[in-house]
Amino acid sequence: MNSLAERFGDDLAVIGFPTNQFGGETNEAEYEILNTLAHVRPGGGYKPRFTMMGKVEVNGKGAHPLFRFLLDTLPTVSDDCGGRGADHIIADPAWVRWKPILRSDVGWNFEKFLVNQEGRPVRRYSPYFETIDVAKDIEALVSKGPNALD
């Protein structure tokens, strides 16, 4: 995400939403998230160069309204989930920590949503889609306008 934020500057707003709904991997307190990123995962002094929000739920009855909107608008990912097939949702259902479970749920950390200049979600990418590869779609939106991916 940092490389996209740097590459596109003011033409792109990147926003990160931590959640603890996937295997309890983000179980630290909100005030610890930036230090965890810098010193644990990914570590190496990593600092996000984009806006980080507080923890939210992305799935289930407690899902944040933004994620309800994103999932209602884009119920499936636009890529092939790294060859796993577009139906791939959750690798291990035992790690699910929400109800109800819906086919449109965010499947795992690092799923990405691209929203155009008019606030309309236009692409949803699986966690297996390389983040840097979203650049092609961003370039299209920046150069051709909000309907470039229709």
- Residue 38 domain flag: yes
CA dihedral 112, 113, 117, 118 (to 10 degrees): -170
* Residue 150, domain member (yes or no): no
Residue 124 lies in a domain: yes
pLDDT recorded at residue 145: 98
Question: Phi/psi at 71 (nearest 5 deg)?
Answer: -70, -35
Q: Whole-number mean pLDDT of the chain?
A: 91
Q: Please, which pLDDT band fits residue 116 given cuts at 50, 70 and 90?
A: very high
| Cα(106)–Cα(77) distance, integer angstroms | 9
Catalogue the E-assigned strands of the chain: 15-16, 51-52, 112-115, 121-125
The answer to whether residue 149 is domain-embedded is no
Higher pLDDT, 114 or 110: 114
Return the pLDDT at 84. Answer: 66
d(CA 144, CA 149): 9
Total count of domains within the chain: 1
Output the pLDDT for position 94: 72
Alpha helices, H only, 40-74: 65-73
Q: What CATH number did the domain enclosing 64 receive?
A: 3.40.30.10
Give the pLDDT confidence score for residue 48 in this predicted structure. 96
Q: What does residue 56 show for φ and ψ, rounded to 5 degrees?
A: -135, 165
Which residues fall within 8 angstroms of residue 55, CB to CB, at 6 or more apart? 17, 18, 19, 20, 26, 30, 33
> Has residue 75 been placed in a domain?
yes
Range of the domain at 114: 2-144
Residue 80 has a pLDDT of 81
Dist. CA 137–CA 130, nearest whole Å: 13
What six digits make up the tokens of 87?
């139906």
- Is 84 within a domain? yes
The pLDDT of residue 92: 67
pLDDT in tens, 19-75: 999 888 888 999 999 999 999 989 999 999 999 999 999 999 999 999 999 999 999
Q: What pLDDT is stored for residue 4 in this prediction? A: 97
